[in-house]
Chain A
Amino acid sequence: MVKELLIILISSSLVNNVVLSQFLGLCPFLGVSKKTNTAAGMGVAVIFVITLASAVAGVIYRFVLEKLGITYLQTIVFILVIAALVQFVEMFLKKFMPSLYQALGVYLPLITTNCAVLGIALTNVQKKYGILTGIVNGFATAVGFTVSIVILAGIREKMEYNDIPESFRGMPIVLVTAGLMAIAFCGFSGLL
Chain B
Amino acid sequence: MANNSGSGYKSSSAAERLYNGLVKENPTFVLMLGMCPTLAVTTSAMNGLGMGLTTMVVLALSNMIISLLRNIIPDKVRIPAFIVVIASFVTMVELLLEGFLPALYDALGLYIPLIVVNCIILGRAESYASKNPVIPSLFDGIGMGLGFSFALTCIGAVRELIGAGEIFGLHIMPDSYVPCAIFIMAPGAFFVLAGLTAIQNKIRINGERKGKDMSKIQSGCSEDCMNCADKGCSRRFYGASGGAEDISGEPETEAKRGKERG
Report A's interface with B, CB cutoff 8 A. 20-28, 30-32, 34, 38, 41, 72-76, 79-80, 83, 86-87, 102, 105-107, 109-110, 112-113, 115, 118-119, 122-123, 126, 166-176, 178-180, 182-183, 186
Contacts and interface: CB of A to CB of B under 8 A. Distances in A.
Nearest to A175: B194
A79 B91 contact: no
Given A79-B117, A168-B201, A175 B225 contact: no
Contact of B186 (A73, A112, A186): A186
B233 A113 contact: yes
A31 B247 contact: yes
B189 interface: yes
Given A75-B113, A76-B88, A106-B247, A23 B83 contact: no
B80 A109 contact: no
Interface stretch (B130-138, B145-153, B215-223): B215-223
Given A76-B91, A110-B247, A179-B188, A118 B84 contact: no
Contact of A122 (B114, B185, B197, B254): B114
B211 interface: no
A176 B198 CA distance: 10
B179 interface: no
Q: Is the interface of B mostly helix, strand, loop or mixed?
A: helix
Given A31-B225, A112-B236, A171-B219, A183 B182 contact: yes
Given A24-B36, A87-B237, A183-B187, A73 B91 contact: yes
A27 B35 CA distance: 8
B39 A106 contact: no
B224 interface: yes
Contacts of A126: 109-110
Nearest to A118: B117
A30 B222 contact: yes
A123 B110 CA distance: 7
A110 B222 contact: no
A88 to B, nearest CB: 11
Given A106-B249, A118-B117, A170-B222, A179 B195 contact: no
Q: Which of A73, A87, A170 has the most CB of B within 10 A?
A: A170
A58 to B, nearest CB: 16
Contacts of A118: 113-114, 116-117
A167 B208 CA distance: 13
11 contacts: A21-B186, A23-B35, A26-B35, A30-B222, A41-B249, A80-B87, A83-B236, A167-B202, A171-B222, A175-B197, A183-B182
Nearest to A24: B36
A109 B225 contact: no
A176 B202 CA distance: 16
Given A26-B36, A115-B36, A105 B190 contact: no
Interface stretch (B46-54, B63-71, B168-176, B238-246): B238-246
